[in-house]
Amino acid sequence: MDERGHPGMHSGESLLFLTDEQLRKGIEAMFFAYRGFTADPDRILATLAYGRAHHRAIHFINRSPGTTVNNLLNTLGVTKQSLNRVLRTLIEDGLVESRVGKKDKRERHLFLTGEGEALEQRLSDAQRARMRAAYRAAGPEAVAGFRTVLEAMMDPDLRRQYLSLREENT
């Protein structure tokens, strides 16, 4: 389709970085990078009979201790049945604790146990090691650009969640 940037759109600036070829490279970069992104935790999880879904739950419970099931549902974007299956095994295995809400007793507030925190550490250490290497190799300016583009790529709802993440609900 449009192979080179058309100068006359917004201003006179070069839009060469918006060609289909550039976009295709970006798409493939996302695909390959995401594989790397999940590779290290996946290896650890495989030895424990857990999967990526468990990792995600653990990550976000750790980030927001006391979060409710509903909150987690919205963050993860899965059905409560899917989440419940994962959560149940984590609670049975003693990695997550579910406490009945004080104000609203219908709610369950989720916390990592000591053991849960230990696994979270193992997983995020592995994932951060790769991120750290990539960040260090790329430098601070590239990192800023990386984050900017990723934010712009999110759905608005998720971007809001991503940007807020300061709410603690206990």
Partner DNA sequence: CTTGGAATGTCAACAAGGCTGACTTAAAAT
Partner DNA sequence: ATTTTAAGTCAGCCTTGTTGACATTCCAAG
Question: Quick check: 44 binds a second copy (CB under 8 A)?
Answer: no
Burial of 61 (0-12, 13-18, 19+ CB in 10 A): buried
With binding defined as CB under 8 A, does residue 7 bind a second copy? yes
Report d(CA 6, CA 14) in Å as an integer: 8
Q: CB of residue 161 vs a second copy: minimum separation in angstroms?
A: 7
Give residue for tokens 């970069």: 29
Sheet holding 96-100, edge to edge: 67-68, 108-112, 96-100
Which residues in 50-69 contact a second copy (CB under 8 A)? 56, 59, 63
Distance CA 31, CA 34 (A): 5
145 near a second copy (CB under 8 A)? yes
Binding-site partner at residue 3 among DNA, a second copy, none, CB < 5 to 8 Å by type: none
Between residues 3 and 104, which has the closer beta carbon with respect to DNA?
A: 104
Q: Mask 82-121, x = binds a second copy (CB under 8 A)? A: ----------------------------------------
| Distance (Å, whole) CA 61 – CA 73 | 11
CB distance 3 to 19 below 8 Å: yes
Quote the least distance from Cβ 102 to a second copy, whole Å: 28
The sign of the CA dihedral 72, 77, 79, 84 is: negative
Closer of 18 and 100 to a second copy (Cβ):
18
Residues forming contacts to a second copy in the complex (CB under 8 A) are 5-7, 10, 14-18, 20, 22-37, 39, 56, 59, 63, 77, 124, 127-128, 130-155, 158-159, 161-162, 165
